[in-house]
Structure 1
Amino acid sequence: MPDPAHSVTAIPPCMATMDVMPDGDRMTVTVWGELDLGSRRLLPDLHDILTLSGSGIDLRLDAVGFCDCSGLNVLLDLRLRALDEDKTVTVRSSGRAVERLLDLTGTRELFAAPGQHQDGAHPATGGQPGQEAADDQETRADDRELRAEVTQLRRAMQTRPTIDLARGILMASFGLSPERAWSVLVRTSQNTNTKLHHLARDLVGTVHGGTLPEPVQQQLAAAVAGTAPRSGAAEDGTGVL
């Protein structure tokens, strides 16, 4: 297993810079550049800035030209740290890249300024005793679910090109439509208890001389035979591997 030091050094360089400006009991942080996996290197400084603030951090992300799921996870990590300190993190302004990701993942509300939530209420404006604690627990549960969704989205973005290549191989080898090729991949994945992106990776590897295990070859051939029209020699499931 890699040691923690190796894991840290494995993070790519940070392609973002930031400027900090005190604003009353809050800190305004302006970020330039790209928020990707390397932006995790900003977290120690952001945590220090959060600690120094009275009530939290306001982010200005207008100059961020690229933001992916890793960058969003940095913002979510900072928000969770703020919750632990009874503070908030807001996105005061952002460019197109950040706007698109916030909309795509449904996370915009998590970084809204107090009083701007969809329910129109601020937790401190009233409610029954204990309601604020219940709301905080619900928020943390929502955060955990959201982080899982973001992780899944990132994995999907990383594995999609390989899956598309594998589908293209099946289309070219057996004369399948895109829909039928997708069905063959899914059926073979299910019948062999193999993750779809692992099956796709191994299938792409056959182009460079690799081979699939015999049971996988059999299930793939059966899936092709059961999915493709019965009108060609290439559809008997024996010609690709």
Structure 2
Amino acid sequence: MPEPAHSAPCLATIEAVPAGERTVVTCRGEFDIGAQELRSELRAVLDRSATGVDLDLDEVRFCDCGGLNVLLSLRREALDQGKTVTVRAYSPVVGRLLELTGARELFVTEYSARPEVPGAVEERPQPMDVDQELRLEVDQLRRAMRTRPAIDVARGIVMASFGLSAGDAWTVLVTASQNTNTKLHELARELMGALQGAAVPEQVRQQMAAAVAKVREHGPDLQRPDRRASPSRAA
């Protein structure tokens, strides 16, 4: 039977500050499915800006695919308006998620100036041309098509092995991926290999066990991947 749907509280906040033709949006807290409540507020900020929004995610201490979808939705709306959404700073947790999902490139914009350099002139972010945008989107879709089947199988393995729900199993996979600095699809292949008798690295086994224990301890309404900051940003 499908799990009952329930609304999640919004544990994130945003603060918008105009900066010339753009608006800097500082995000704080936890960007999960509850962050859907911020969509209308973010859309209003985008509408008021002339050329787009620059996101500061350095104070986001947790972010999952639900939160990432909010940011991707804002980016799509900006493209429809001929504007851009960039990420000017992010926490290790956000950086890791952007790397795991391959979404980091979608928010990259080069700046030629830094505020601390006297006399420097900041270049306004320019939207991609249509061909480049389409190529990037296709690359992302192809990557997802290649890796998603393995990830789905790995989630099924975790569900069957530990008696967890689909949501719990996803939390365990993301937590172990973050804490072992292993790409999600690589972790999935390691778990699939275990079915054929291959050894799972000790660090992965330890982090998987810890993640399962944490999920069971907190229960279904408090499942969150480990919020401890990763020691390094995504390259």
Match of 1:87 in 2: 83
1:36 aligns with 2:38: no
Deviation (angstroms), 1:182: 2.8
CA contact (8 A) 1:13 1:38 kept: yes
Runs of 5+ consecutive residues of structure 1 not aligned to the other structure: 1-6, 117-121, 126-130, 167-177, 185-241
- Supply the distance in 2 between the matched residues of 1:70 and 1:150 (Cα, whole angstroms): 19
Show CA shifts across 1:34-72 (max 9, x none). 011111111111111111111111011111110111111
* CA distance, structure 2, for counterparts of residue 15 and residue 144 of structure 1: 30
Report the Cα distance in structure 2 between the residues aligned to 1:32 and 1:150, rounded to whole angstroms. Answer: 30
3-state DSSP class of the match of 1:113? coil
Structure 1 residue aligned with 2:53: 57
Deviation at 1:147, TM superposition (A): 7.2
Q: Please say which structure displays the higher CA radius of gyration.
A: 1
Q: Deviations over 1:138-171 (max 9, x none)?
A: 24434555777898799678656413326xxxxx
User: Percent of counterpart pairs with the same letter?
Assistant: 37
Give unmatched runs, 5+ long, in structure 2: 113-123, 164-190, 198-235
The secondary structure found in structure 1 opposite 2:73 is: helix
Cα distance change, pair 157–32 in 1 and its aligned pair in 2 (3 A): farther
Which structure is higher in helix share? 1
Name the aligned partner's letter for residue 66 of structure 2.
S
- Give TM-score scaled by structure 2 length: 0.54
| Cross-structure match for 1:77 | 73
Is 1:98 the counterpart of 2:94? The answer is yes
Q: What's the Cα RMSD here?
A: 3.8
* TM-score, normalised with respect to structure 1: 0.53
Question: What is the deviation of 1:77?
Answer: 1.2
The higher-RCO structure (CA 8 Å, 6+ apart) is 2
Of 145-154 and 156-165, deviating more is 145-154
Aligned structure 1 segments of 4 or more residues deviating by more than 3 angstroms: 122-125, 139-161, 178-181
Aligned partners of 1:12, 1:82: CA distance in 2, in Å? 26
Matched, 1:136 2:149: no
For the 8 Å contact 1:105–1:150, the answer to whether it is kept is no
Name the count of aligned residue pairs.
Answer: 156
- Partner residue in 1 for 2:168: none
